[in-house]
Amino acid sequence: MAEYTLDDKGSIAFRITNGVTGSVCKVAQLGATVVSWRGKGGDERLFVSTKSEFTKGKAVRGGIPICWPQFSSYGDFPKHGIARNNLWIMRDVETDASGGSVTATFMLMDDPEVAKHVQGITLEYRVTLDGEDRLITELVARGHRDTPLKTTVCLHTYFAVGDIMQTSVVGLKGAAFSDQVAKEEAEQESEELTFGFECDRIYHNNATETLEIRDAKNKRKFLVSKSPELSDWVVWNLWKEKALQMADMDDDGYSKYVCVEPTRYSQPAVIEAGGEFRCRQTIQVLPM
Ligand SMILES: O=P(O)(O)OC[C@H]1O[C@@H](O)[C@H](O)[C@@H](O)[C@@H]1O
């Protein structure tokens, strides 16, 4: 089931409910950003800063912003692209009675702001609450233009954690990464990546399909998986000092989230005329 609702700042959002599992998510019209995902018991799984503005032209600070057609500032598009801060429409909702899943499909609205940056691409986003209480988000970009478009992409998920000091990311031991804070290449030595500092890392060309986020304070763990089209993992927490400087982040916001982001960065995707690019993340929450 899906219904219109308002997000926290009074702008339009869509509430999607899975009647079988009891899970509910909320997708803002702004950026088709999934801004809430709760299980049957009401536990919130995504972090959203209370200072998020929810206005066109600005991304939501939290949830799952879609960074497309560019990850970060690496290219000619605005930082993290134009999908996250423009308006989307909900196209339809399908319920798969046998599998117990519900999928809402969103389309990026073709308005002048979008057309100013990229033309001849249809962008579709499918948000599924499946029968096993998983959240699946899939982005599909279809080309109908004469020239191919080179893109990078990132599903920039802010996971809600009880305390960042009791949080770790597991599955990256031995992985090479670009440290965007120290501006150097490094390799992860430990089994668990723990926090206590500004962390901004691109684990490039990393084929690990699933990472585990241990949220010890909430006694739960997230399993986050990426489809093979997403070649990289990004892990980001801005930490104390930068949280104070960031206008749309709560002062203590850094302690309540970790971003683990399935990303396509190392080798940009090329969308040919008549072709498409598809990528997906799947998230599950388990007790710990
Ligand atoms: O402030 P923004 O544009 O939402 O970006 C947040 C962060 O997003 C991460 O993906 C980047 O690796 C960081 O470098 C960046 O700071």
List residues with catalytic annotation.
156, 261
Q: Per-residue b/e over 57-79, b at no fewer than 16 CB within 10 Å?
A: eebbbbbbbbbbbbbbeeeebee
pLDDT at 23: 97
pLDDT at 243: 97
Mutate to test the pocket of ligand 1, among 200, 203, 246, 281 (most ligand atoms within 8 A of CB): 200
pLDDT at 11: 79
102 CA from centroid of ligand 1 (Å)? 30
> How do the domains of the chain map onto residue ranges?
8-287
pLDDT at 98: 85
Tell how many helices (H) and how many strands (E) occur in the chain.
2, 21
Phi-psi sector, 49: left (phi>0), alpha (psi -120 to 50), beta: beta
Q: Residue 2 is inside which H or E element, if any?
A: strand 2-6
Q: Cα(223)–Cα(66) distance, rounded to whole angstroms?
A: 19
Q: Cα(82)–Cα(90) distance, rounded to whole angstroms?
A: 18
Q: What is the ipTM of this complex?
A: 0.99
pLDDT at 231: 97
* pLDDT tens by residue, the chain, 288 residues: 778 777 667 678 999 999 999 999 999 999 999 999 999 999 999 999 999 999 999 999 999 999 999 999 999 999 999 999 999 999 999 999 888 999 999 999 888 999 999 999 999 999 999 999 999 999 999 999 889 999 999 999 999 999 999 999 999 999 999 999 999 999 999 999 999 999 999 999 999 999 999 999 999 999 999 999 999 999 999 999 999 999 999 999 999 999 999 999 999 999 999 999 999 999 999 999
pLDDT at 238: 98
Ligand 1 atom nearest 154 alpha carbon: 10
pLDDT at 8: 66
Ligand 1 atom nearest 202 alpha carbon: 12
What topology does CATH give the domain 8-287? Beta-galactosidase; Chain A, domain 5 (2.70.98)
Give the position of tokens 């500092």.
197
Token pair, residue 16, equals 């999607």
Nearest CA, atom 14, ligand 1: 200
Predicted TM-score (pTM) of the model is 0.97
Nearest to 63 by CA among 33, 43, 87: 33
Q: Which residues line ligand 1 (CB under 6 A)?
A: 59, 72, 79-80, 156, 180, 200, 234, 236, 261
Token pair, residue 275, equals 């072709």
Nearest CA, atom 7, ligand 1: 236
Q: Cα(37)–Cα(151) distance, rounded to whole angstroms?
A: 28
Ligand 1 atom nearest 180 alpha carbon: 14
72 CA from centroid of ligand 1 (Å)? 6
